[in-house]
Structure 1
Amino acid sequence: MCFYNQKRFSCGDWSWTSFAHRCNYEYRTGETCGMRLVNMTENEASKCRLCEKIETKFRRRTAEVDRLERWKREGATLVASMDRSQTLIKELDKEIYMLQREREDKRNTLLR
């Protein structure tokens, strides 16, 4: 039951920050008991690292979809570029899915 400070992001996620003070149960110098309790919560205006990565991937995916639709509208003959763009969109979808799974797994492990 040692006390740590906590950082809460605008997206709802949080992380441990600095060690605040030790509890009475741990008597060894420099050691902590392993249980973490919140000493103080610092509110952060920004989003967490995972949410920022997901937003970045979404923006890149949107730009790629817009580019592909423009090429199709204009009747472009750049079939190789269009295929590459479709492949990139699929890869971005996979990356977004994996990041969202990582975020959900992190949230679910904390609730257990």
Structure 2
Amino acid sequence: MCFYDQKTWGCGYWKWAGFRQQCPKEYRTGETCGLKLVYESTIVGAQCKVCDAIDKKKRKYQKKTNDMARWKDDPAQWANYETAEADAAKIYDEWTQLIAEHNEVTMVRRRRD
């Protein structure tokens, strides 16, 4: 039952911040009992890092798909099209992974509330 600060963003994403207070169960200096409780939750107004990364991946994916649509019918751009197609698939996988990570953290938060 050691107490920590918590940062919470508007999207529901959260993370533990600094150690605040040691519980009476742990008598050794510098050690914690392992159970984290929220001492104070600070709401941060800006987007979280994961939301920023999701937005960047979304923009990159949209650019690649726009490039692919432009190069699709041009035989001179076939190599560029194939490269953009592979890049778009990779970006899409990273994008969905970030969304899943974000949803996992926010769902834990919603279940606790």
* TM-score, normalisation: structure 2: 0.81
Partner of 2:81: 82
Structure-to-structure mapping, 1:1-112, within 5 angstroms: 1-72=1-72, 75=74, 77-107=76-106
Aligned partners of 1:76 and 1:44: how far apart in 2? 50
Give the match's secondary structure for 2:37.
Answer: strand
1:44: Cα distance to partner?
Answer: 1.0
Distance 1:69 1:16, change over 3 A: same
Greater Cα shift, 63-72 or 84-93: 63-72
Aligned partners of 2:107 and 2:14: how far apart in 1? 13
1:76: Cα distance to partner?
Answer: 5.8
2:87 alignment partner AA:
L
| C-alpha RMSD of matched pairs (Å) | 2.2
1:39 alignment partner AA:
Y
2:41 alignment partner AA:
T
Higher relative contact order (CA 8 A, sep 6+): 2
Q: List alignment gaps of at least 5 residues for structure 2.
A: none
* Paired residues, number: 111
Q: List alignment gaps of at least 5 residues for structure 1.
A: none
Greater Cα shift, 49-58 or 35-44: 49-58
2:88 alignment partner AA:
I
